Structure 1
């Protein structure tokens, strides 16, 4: 099928006397001819990344290519680095299958010439067959990946069996879930554009990992990547895969002004895909925690979250700092105490090691001891008491989680 599409795009390029590129209806690059002569940055990026960026997709959709039934001349966009184009929609019985794109800087391409050629009817039939096969395979994989997150153990076991028999995964071994969330005011973004950005980043990441070493799906407000241990030593670590997904999402959302940042969560590895639902729930919690606590960084690993693993599972009604340590609540109410709070947290993080605390905070030991005494007075506590230190430490982490304590570091 791919060879037939390559033959057709080369024939169309020769017919038009200029390079041609074919995209599917989701504006993913399917095939392209040899490119010589004038080419803009958008065309180069599309060929390298196999898909246009979301902002280019949104701009072209605004021009009306998704509803076109006849060739469309699209104008240039200086902001996007886009030259004028000639777009021929590929339809079979009015079903939109994709587009043939030509760069047309002088607007000399004639509407009737390409559309009337026998090549377009041949292309539409070939794309229809490819689309039918691709949709069936894609839907099967997506639905099966979705059922891997089911509550039913029997359903998950059956899903793994289907995936293995269909050859969609290299094998069933250690499985880790990675969840990505976009942070920002996405209300102004078309849902389809946001979903396409997530899908594009997932697909690109899977190409790096190995398409049979991972599965993916896009849910309501997040993207899911399931890493499955197929080839021994052949797949990337969850941390590297998460960093790749983070990088690819940043690329895919570049130019979408309402997306402020990306957060990726990693769950704990499970023995097999049928148990990956537990890893998914952890990865989702880790990502959501990262959204609330930017200080954790763009990639948040559940196994490394320490006490937050417990705190994230508490009902919001139980997140009362005063119940854990009333003295810390008093310190938090006084906005003049941020330095004392940061000193206290570092001191407790270092297990009460005054020397290490002074060194990390670059303080004279006398200054540190003064601050610690001040904290004891204001919070009515005794830092020599292990139980007091435990309650203060827990209350500090809880106040980070609720947003009551937001250190500047």
Structure 2
């Protein structure tokens, strides 16, 4: 199929007398002719990464290319390092299948009538077949991935068999789940450009691992990558893959105002693909904790979460600070007590070591003791009681997870 498309794009380029590039309807690069002459950074990046940047897609869609039936001239955009172009939409019975792009830096290109040559019809049929096959395969893979992350053990085993029989994965074996989240400002959901950026990053990570070795899925508020955990030549470990995925996310979301920051959660490895749902749940919790607590970093492993492993699970049962320690809940809910809460948390983090806490907070020991005494009075607690200290420590971490205590002075 790609051989046929390559023949067509070469014929198109020869007919027009300049390089051509073909994208599918999602503006992913499908095929391109030999690239000669002036080239901008957008064309260069599209060829190297096989995809177009989300901000460029949004800008071009704003010019109406997705609704066009005839060729569209798009102006230059110095901010995007984009030269003027001529865009020819490719349709099959009014169904948008993709776009043919020509760079036209000086605006001298005449209107392109590919229909008269028969090339446009050939291209639409070839893209239709590729689109149909690709959509069917993608739909089957997506359904299998959803089954692996949600359904019963029997259904998950069946999904693995289906993936193996269809050749969508090379083999079964140990798998690790990564969950990528885009954290939007003020609790808003990431927009469509952010979702495109997320999928592009997942696809790039999957290529590094091997497209028949990994699976990916985009959900409403996060992306999932299921990676082989066994070492192989040229294939990154899950930990390295997580860092690479985060780097990709940082790069493609840097210009998106709808994304404040990114976080990648890493679950523990499971021996079979049918068991990877357990790793997924861990990675999902790790990403959610990381989204709430930026101090943990952009890559957060479930195995390194400590007490937050317990609190993340308990949070599903709607556990509140008051459930763990009512006195501390009063302190948390009262404005002006952030310094006392920070002092208490540092004190408990250091196992009640007053000398280490005072040094950490750069306080005189007398000031520290005064604050601790004040905490005991306000929270109705006794810091010499081990059980009370345990409850207070858990309640403080739960407050941080619920964003009711920042942990900062």
TM-score, normalised on structure 2?
0.89
Distance in 2, matches of 1:334 and 1:197, equals 41
Q: Is the 8 A contact 1:177 1:269 kept in 2?
A: yes
Change (3 A) 1:190 1:388: closer
Alignment partner of 1:64 is 2:64: yes
Change (3 A) 1:107 1:187: farther
Aligned to 1:14: 14
Distance in 2, matches of 1:103 and 1:31, equals 15
Report the secondary structure of 1:90's partner residue.
strand
Change (3 A) 1:207 1:238: same
Change (3 A) 1:353 1:172: farther
Deviates most, 94-103 or 352-361: 352-361
Unpaired runs of 5+ in structure 2?
Answer: none
Deviates most, 199-208 or 181-190: 181-190
Q: Is the 8 A contact 1:90 1:98 kept in 2?
A: yes
- Per-residue Cα deviation, 1:253-308 (whole angstroms, up to 9, x for no partner): 33321222222222222221111112222222222223333333322222222222
User: 1:44-63, aligned counterparts within 5 Å?
Assistant: 44-63=44-63
Distance in 2, matches of 1:113 and 1:384, equals 85
Aligned to 1:121: 121
Change (3 A) 1:187 1:383: closer
Alignment partner of 1:388 is 2:385: no
May I ask how many residue pairs the two structures share in their alignment? 408
User: 1:201-212, aligned counterparts within 5 Å?
Assistant: 201-212=201-212
Alignment partner of 1:171 is 2:171: yes
Distance in 2, matches of 1:70 and 1:114, equals 11
Q: Is the 8 A contact 2:180 2:223 kept in 1?
A: yes
Q: Is the 8 A contact 1:205 1:244 kept in 2?
A: yes
Deviates most, 131-140 or 376-385: 376-385
- Per-residue Cα deviation, 1:223-242 (whole angstroms, up to 9, x for no partner): 11111346657643332222
Distance in 2, matches of 1:316 and 1:92, equals 48
Distance in 2, matches of 1:189 and 1:326, equals 36
Distance in 1, matches of 2:297 and 2:281, equals 19
TM-score, normalised on structure 1?
0.89
Report the secondary structure of 1:63's partner residue.
coil
Alignment partner of 1:404 is 2:371: no
Distance in 2, matches of 1:248 and 1:89, equals 29
Runs of 4+ with deviation above 6 angstroms: 186-189
Aligned to 2:240: 240
Distance in 1, matches of 2:318 and 2:117, equals 70
User: 1:9-408, aligned counterparts within 5 Å?
Assistant: 9-184=9-184, 191=192, 193-229=193-229, 232=232, 235-314=235-314, 319-363=319-363, 368-369=368-369, 371-408=371-408
Deviates most, 85-94 or 333-342: 333-342
Distance in 1, matches of 2:383 and 2:189, equals 50
Q: Could you say what the CA RMSD is over the residues aligned between the two structures, in angstroms? A: 2.7
Deviates most, 14-23 or 150-159: 14-23
Distance in 1, matches of 2:60 and 2:205, equals 25
